[in-house]
């Protein structure tokens, strides 16, 4: 469990830092009028028929969207398709963008919706993630001086959350992997803040039961080999 706790904590810190950098980078440009951002100007130009404006929007936000969609799939071909789906949906929805908040937040909501829909389709196709004996061994407490394999930790968390229903998986990913506040999670999912809190509580309980069951299976397998 040390590995899981470490990874969740580190990713929450990283997400907060990335959010701060993004909000700084996408602020008002000195060359624009007060209250006007580079994004809002390109949205205006795009709605006016300027195709290059949307290409500039994609260029500015592609890395952010790609990072979000990596949470939903680590298959390179699926990941690429999901990123494309986000920008296609965003383009089609652009006339409904109100401009009351950062464009990055609006794109993040669309990305979350696209990814969540993918998880639900995946679930309906009866694709089920299960934890292997190797995963069970990794879940056990490791020595304090043992180095952490970042890639292995990330892959393990992805597989672990993948064993949960999409709704539970989504709230845990947003709250404890991306490190979003209850308010931002509610904004990104379209849920109420109360729903976010209740869903997170239930999902944590399911995750704990899942880990304990995996560890119990691992212990049983180990005893059977003796």
**Topology (CATH) of 2-220:** Rna Polymerase Sigma Factor; Chain: A (1.10.1740)
The larger pLDDT score, comparing residue 215 to residue 72, is at 72
Cα(130)–Cα(105) distance, integer angstroms: 33
Q: Is 125 helix (H, G, I), strand (E, B) or coil?
A: coil
> What pTM value is reported for the model?
0.74
Query: Is it the case that residue 35 has pLDDT exceeding 60?
Result: no
Nearby residues of 85 by Cβ (< 8 Å), 6 or more positions away = 114
Q: What pLDDT does 91 receive?
A: 96
Residue 3: predicted pLDDT: 45
The residue among 116, 109, 95, 115 whose CA lies nearest residue 44 is 95
69-123: per-residue pLDDT in tens? Answer: 999 998 999 999 999 999 999 999 999 998 888 999 999 999 999 999 999 998 8
Please say whether the dihedral angle defined by the alpha carbons of residues 8, 14, 17 and 18, taken in this order, is positive or negative. negative
In this structure, of 89-93, 131-135, 213-217, the range with the lowest mean pLDDT score is: 131-135
């Amino acid at each position: 469990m040390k590995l899981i706790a470490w990874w969740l904590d580190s990713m929450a810190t990283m997400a907060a830092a990335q959010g701060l950098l993004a909000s700084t980078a996408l602020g008002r440009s000195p060359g624009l009028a007060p209250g006007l951002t580079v994004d809002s100007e390109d949205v205006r130009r795009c709605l006016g028929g300027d195709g290059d404006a949307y290409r500039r929007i994609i260029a500015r936000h592609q890395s952010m969207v790609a990072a979000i969609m990596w949470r939903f799939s680590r298959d390179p071909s699926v990941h690429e398709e999901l990123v494309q789906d986000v920008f296609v949906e965003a383009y089609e929805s652009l006339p409904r963008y109100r401009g009351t908040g950062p464009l990055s937040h609006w794109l993040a909501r669309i990305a979350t919706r696209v990814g969540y829909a993918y998880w639900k389709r995946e679930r309906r196709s009866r694709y089920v993630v299960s934890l292997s004996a190797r995963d069970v061994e990794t879940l056990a407490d490791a020595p304090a001086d043992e180095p952490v394999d970042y890639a292995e930790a990330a892959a393990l968390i992805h597989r672990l959350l993948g064993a949960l229903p999409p709704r539970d998986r989504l709230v845990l990913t947003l709250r404890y992997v991306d490190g979003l506040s209850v308010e931002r999670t509610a904004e990104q999912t379209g849920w109420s803040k109360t729903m976010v809190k209740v869903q997170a509580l239930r999902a944590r309980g399911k995750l704990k039961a899942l880990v304990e069951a995996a560890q119990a299976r691992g212990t049983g397998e180990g005893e059977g080999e003796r």
